[in-house]
Amino acid sequence: MINFIVLPFLFLCTHLFSSSLQPPASIPEQPRKYATKNVVILVIDGVRYSDSWGDPTFSNIPRMAKHLAAKGVFHPQFYNKGVTLTNPGHVALTTGHHQMIENDGSELPGQPSIFHYYRQHTGAPAKAAWVITSKDKLEILARTNSTSPAAAFAPSVNCGIKGLGTGYRDDTTTIRISKQVLARHKPKLVLINLREPDSEAHAGNWNGYIKAIRQSDRLVYDFWNWLQKNPHYKNTTTLLVTNDHGRHEGNRFENHGDKCEGCRHISLLALGPDVKAGTRATRERSQVDVAATTAELLGFKLPNQEGEPMLELFKTTSTARK
C-alpha cells in the first residue's frame, strides 16, 4: 500500500530536481558561425608519415611544411583507423564510416556521403559537389547502395581516364581538370585524389615515389595559391590535405594494408579562413572526423556517423557568416 503513495511523490521530486538542472528549452544551443563557404578535401594517395611530415627536415614537402603550415593547422596525430587501402580510406573520409569495402571499385559505399547529404540539405544542383580523382576506381565515392532518401543526391564526377573501369591518369591532369571544374561550376564541396606516390611505390621505384611526393607538394601549393587568386574561393575556402593510408615501415615501402604504424599514421593540414593559423593540433584524430568536420563547416547534418567535428582546429570567435 505504501508504494502507491511514495512512488508518485518520488517521481515528482526527481522530475522537479532534473528539470532544475536542464537549460530552459527556449534557449537552443547556437551553432557556430564560419567564414568557410567551400570545402575541398585533397587526398595524396599512399604517402608515409616518415617520408613527409615525420621527417624533421621536410625535404620532400618543403612548400607545405614551410609556407602552408604557417597559414594553417598541421595535425601530427592523424590516423587511418580502418582498412589501410585506397577505397576504404577514402570512404572513411567521405562517409564518416569505417567500411570493409572492396579496394578495386567493385563495391559501393553502404552509406551516403558528405556530397549526398550536402546536396539533400541545401537543394544544391549536382554541379555544386564534385569527386575528381586520378584513380578511376574512386568514382564509387559519388555513389552508394544505401536506400536512404539522401542517395538520390549524387555529386558530379571526373575520375580516371574516362570514369570507372578506364584506368588511372596523371596527377597534373587531375589538378588541371580540378581548376577547370572550379572555375566553371564554382562547386562548394570537392574531393580531389592524387595517386602518383602510391603508384610509384607499388612499382618498387623509391626515387619515383620521392619524386611523386615532391610533385604533390608543388601541386598542393600551386592549387592553394590558385584558390587565393580566385575571387569566388579566396578567403571562403577550407582546404583539408590528407592521405588515404601510409605504407609499411622500414624498407617495405612498396606495399601497405595492415595495421602497422607506417600504414596507419597519416597527416592532415587544414587551411582556410576559420583555422587557428600557424598552430599544431594535439588531440588524436582520424579519417571519419574529416566527414564530420566538413558537415560542421558547411552547416549540414551527417546522420549515424562515427566521427566528430574537429572543433579544436578552428577559431572560437570566428568571422561571422554574412
Q: Environment class of residue 12 by beta-carbon count within 10 Å: exposed (0-12), middle (13-18) or buried (19+)?
A: exposed
Nearest distance, CB of residue 53 and Zn ion, angstroms: 18
Q: Which is nearer to Zn ion, 210 or 260 (CB)?
A: 260
- Give the count of beta carbons closer than 10 Å to the beta carbon of residue 176: 12
- Cβ burial 15-45 (10 Å sphere, 16+ → b, else e): eeeeeeeeeeeeeeeeebebbbbbbbbbbbb
Nearest distance, CB of residue 174 and Zn ion, angstroms: 16
> What would the x/- binding string for Zn ion be over residues 22 to 61, using CB under 5 A?
------------------------x---------------
Nearest distance, CB of residue 251 and Zn ion, angstroms: 12
Q: Which is nearer to Zn ion, 258 or 284 (CB)?
A: 258
By CB under 5 A, the residues from 66 to 125 that bind Zn ion are none
- Give the count of beta carbons closer than 10 Å to the beta carbon of residue 232: 13
- Residue 265 is a binding residue for Zn ion (CB under 5 A): no
In Å, how far are 45, 99, 131, 138, 256 from 107, measured between CA atoms? 19, 11, 17, 11, 20
Nearest distance, CB of residue 50 and Zn ion, angstroms: 12
Number of residues that bind Zn ion (CB under 5 A): 6
Which residue from 126, 164, 210, 260 is in contact with Zn ion, where contact means CB under 5 A?
260
- Cβ burial 80-103 (10 Å sphere, 16+ → b, else e): bbbbbbbbbbbbbbbbbbbbebee
285: which strand partners?
A: 78
Which residue from 198, 217, 274, 306 is in contact with Zn ion, where contact means CB under 5 A?
198
DSSP strand pairing (265-271 vs 237-242)? antiparallel
Q: Which is nearer to Zn ion, 105 or 155 (CB)?
A: 105
Which residue from 43, 128, 263, 295 is in contact with Zn ion, where contact means CB under 5 A?
263
Q: Which is nearer to Zn ion, 94 or 199 (CB)?
A: 199
Q: Which is nearer to Zn ion, 164 or 260 (CB)?
A: 260
Q: Which is nearer to Zn ion, 222 or 249 (CB)?
A: 249
Which residue from 90, 248, 265, 285 is in contact with Zn ion, where contact means CB under 5 A?
248
Q: Which stretch binds Zn ion (CB under 5 A): 51-59, 232-240, 242-250, 301-309?
A: 242-250
- Residue 258 is a binding residue for Zn ion (CB under 5 A): yes
Q: How many CA atoms lie within 13 A of 218 on its CB side?
A: 8
Nearest distance, CB of residue 254 and Zn ion, angstroms: 9
Continuous H helices in 64-205: 86-95, 114-122, 171-185, 196-202
In Å, how far are 26, 27, 145, 244 from 30, measured between CA atoms? 12, 9, 34, 33
314: which strand partners?
A: 275
Given the rule CB under 5 A, which residues bind Zn ion? 46, 198, 248, 258, 260, 263
